[in-house]
Amino acid sequence: MSGTPKKILAVASSGGHWIQLKRILPALGGHELAFVTVSQAYRSEVGDSRFYVVHDATIWNKVGLLILGFQMYRILRRERPDIVISTGAACGYFGLRFGRKFGARTIWVDSIANVEHLSLSGQKVGRYADLWLTQWPHLAQPGGPQYAGSVL
């Protein structure tokens, strides 16, 4: 990403999703970053960047998804990023959905842990992603996702 510095919202749930997001960060140097995740424990890893903690929800917790969706909408409305990037999962899905509504460019990098098939969030978010990536060449398809390497 070259040219004028962009406002980027980086979104990931915990564990491997967060680790993979952090490995992408060197490519985002020189841009204004804000982070969204599900664990306050990661706060110390982002320096002075704005940091938001949201409800951790899954497809099996409909009320939790509503709470998460509302939280993500409020964050996107406040931040108004130029770009939303996510490595998953549910918080990233909402980040891309609402980011697109607010005019942001969107990037989804599906987890490397999904060897046999795309993650559920990755399957559902593809049509909202301007750049939709898988980390496994055999999961790439003509209509997306694309394979461009892995972050591990």
pLDDT value, residue 143: 87
pLDDT digits over 89-130, tens only? 999 999 999 999 999 999 999 987 777 777 778 788 999 999
152 or 82, greater pLDDT = 82
Residue 2 lies in a domain: no
Q: pTM of the prediction?
A: 0.93
Tell me which residue range forms the domain holding 117.
7-147
75 or 142, greater pLDDT = 75
Bridge partners (DSSP) listed for residue 53? 37
112 or 8, greater pLDDT = 8
Residue 152 lies in a domain: no
Question: What total of structural domains would you count in the chain?
Answer: 1
Distance CA 49, CA 63 (A): 29
Of residues 3, 27, 4, the one with CA closest to residue 131: 27
* Rounded mean pLDDT, 62-79: 98
Contacting residues for 4 by C-beta, under 8 A, at least 6 apart: none
Q: What is the CATH number of the domain that holds 49?
A: 3.40.50.2000
Residue 85 lies in a domain: yes
Prior bond of 89 cis (ω within 30°): yes
Distance CA 29, CA 74 (A): 26
Residue 1 lies in a domain: no
pLDDT digits over 10-58, tens only? 999 999 999 999 999 999 999 999 999 999 999 999 999 999 999 999 9
pLDDT value, residue 1: 53
